[in-house]
């Protein structure tokens, strides 16, 4: 082990002649530890929120959605849906009709979107786990059922219980129908409420009602037309999902737009990531501010050890060795603070994961979500080491030269 490093390590733990130097060194360690700990906790908190948002959208939105680049509807035979649904990695797929309609119950009205899908859609996706009441059937023995969101239910006051009036009226506008002052602009159809779903997102629970593809076609007057295809993948990694997307793009051509779930909700996911990056940058500045106490500690240590330095010169030390000695001292203080902060941060995160120490009132989650990611730890360690190297090298180089040590 090189001698300057051994002496630096000895200085780190040795008691100084002036107690204030010990205090300032301890403040440096604590400041860096708190900054590191805060980075781990805050970034893990953002990861937890991102995971919750992702899970909420995972249960509702398809892995891949195919729609027109221009226009709304297209003929079913324009896409080889069977070929797409039989690709490796695809677990289920459905043609979709999505259009704005008006739900009516008694004297209450609510605008939303009807989503016409295959009759077995709910059972073959994660939506069956979101039902708060009723059954997942959209069609049974020739009878059509609908499954609206929980917010629509609370606003209109309907139920799926067959012991009560469990029918609602859906008003859909026909595209080829001319509107006049005397004609009815909507096609009205009554349908039985088979169940109610709840995702926890207002954009879904207050916006969508599911029905069979046939019911949506009859309501809206579609003639062998759809608005898109939805593809659900098996458990694929992100890279595998994008490879599947590329295969589908090769099959559908430039006329159609193929989007992954993240691309369908680009604003939500990009906003979460941008917030995480912004917070990380702010915490980096906090760590830089904490590093000023490290500079103060090194300055005081260099002043105290001036006599020791002349002794070291007499046994063969060079100016470079002296600079290295105090540089190593600063790096060791930084690493010690970083390791303490890392351990404390991870401990707090896992205590929250295991025991839910910080609860959330009136939420779909019992406690604040935390998700520790390995790459975050790597980025934090790189930041801590980089700040330590910079805040030790330049001040030490300047002080040794300035004080003519």
pLDDT-derived band of residue 399, with 50, 70 and 90 as boundaries? Answer: confident
Model confidence, pTM? 0.75
User: Which pLDDT does position 356 carry in this prediction?
Assistant: 86
User: Who wins on pLDDT, 186 or 373?
Assistant: 373
pLDDT band, very low/low/confident/very high, at 364 (cuts 50, 70, 90):
low
Asked whether the predicted pLDDT for residue 326 surpasses 70, the reply is yes
Question: What is the distance between the alpha carbons of residues 124 and 120, in angstroms, rounded to a whole number?
Answer: 6
CB 61 within 8 A of CB 203: no
What are the domain boundaries of the chain? 3-57+269-402, 62-264
Quick one: pLDDT at residue 343? 96
pLDDT 10s digits, 136-166 = 999 988 899 999 999 999 999 999 998 888 9
Confidence of residue 89 (pLDDT cuts 50, 70, 90): very high
pLDDT at 104 over 90: yes
Higher-confidence position of 183 and 146: 146
Please compute the mean of the pLDDT values over residues 165-183 and round it to a whole number.
76
Note the pLDDT of residue 74.
Answer: 93
Rounded to the nearest integer, the mean pLDDT of the chain is 87
Q: Which residues contact 180 (CB under 8 A, 6 or more apart)?
A: none
Q: Let me know: does 187 contact 219? Beta carbons within 8 Å.
A: yes
């Amino acid at each position: 082990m090189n001698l300057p490093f051994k002496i630096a390590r000895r200085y780190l733990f040795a008691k100084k002649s002036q107690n204030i130097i010990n205090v300032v060194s301890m403040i440096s360690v604590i400041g860096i530890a708190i900054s590191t700990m805060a980075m781990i906790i805050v970034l893990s908190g953002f990861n937890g929120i991102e995971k919750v948002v992702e899970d909420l959208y995972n249960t509702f939105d398809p892995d891949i959605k195919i729609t027109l680049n221009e226009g709304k509807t297209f003929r079913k035979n324009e896409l080889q849906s069977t070929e797409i649904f039989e690709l490796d990695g695809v677990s289920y797929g459905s043609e979709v009709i999505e259009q704005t309609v008006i739900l009516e119950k008694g004297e209450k009205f609510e605008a939303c979107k009807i989503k016409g899908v295959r009759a077995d859609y709910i059972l073959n996706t994660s939506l069956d786990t979101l039902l708060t009441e009723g059954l997942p059937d959209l069609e049974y023995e020739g009878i059509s059922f609908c499954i609206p969101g929980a917010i629509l239910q609370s606003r209109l006051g309907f139920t799926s219980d067959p012991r009560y009036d469990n029918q609602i009226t859906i008003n859909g506008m026909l595209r080829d129908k001319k509107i006049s002052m005397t004609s009815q602009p909507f096609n009205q159809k009554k349908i039985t409420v088979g169940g109610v779903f709840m995702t926890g997102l207002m954009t879904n629970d207050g916006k969508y009602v599911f029905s069979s593809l046939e019911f949506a076609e009859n309501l809206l007057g579609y003639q062998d037309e759809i608005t898109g295809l939805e593809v659900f993948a098996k458990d694929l990694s992100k890279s595998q999902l994008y490879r599947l997307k590329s295969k589908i793009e090769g099959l559908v051509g430039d006329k159609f737009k193929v989007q992954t779930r993240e691309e369908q909700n680009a604003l939500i996911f990009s906003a979460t990531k941008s917030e995480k990056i912004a917070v990380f940058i702010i915490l980096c500045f906090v760590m830089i501010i904490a590093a000023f106490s490290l500079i103060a500690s090194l300055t005081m240590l260099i002043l105290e050890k001036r006599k020791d330095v002349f002794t070291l010169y007499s046994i063969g030390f060079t100016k470079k060795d002296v600079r290295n000695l105090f540089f190593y001292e600063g790096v060791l203080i930084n690493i010690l603070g970083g390791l303490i902060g890392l351990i404390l941060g991870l401990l707090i995160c896992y205590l929250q994961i295991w025991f839910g120490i910080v609860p959330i009132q009136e939420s779909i989650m019992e406690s604040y979500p935390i998700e520790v990611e390995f790459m975050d730890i790597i980025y934090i360690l790189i930041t801590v080491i980089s700040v330590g190297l910079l805040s030790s090298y330049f001040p030490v180089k300047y002080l040794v030269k300035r004080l003519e040590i």
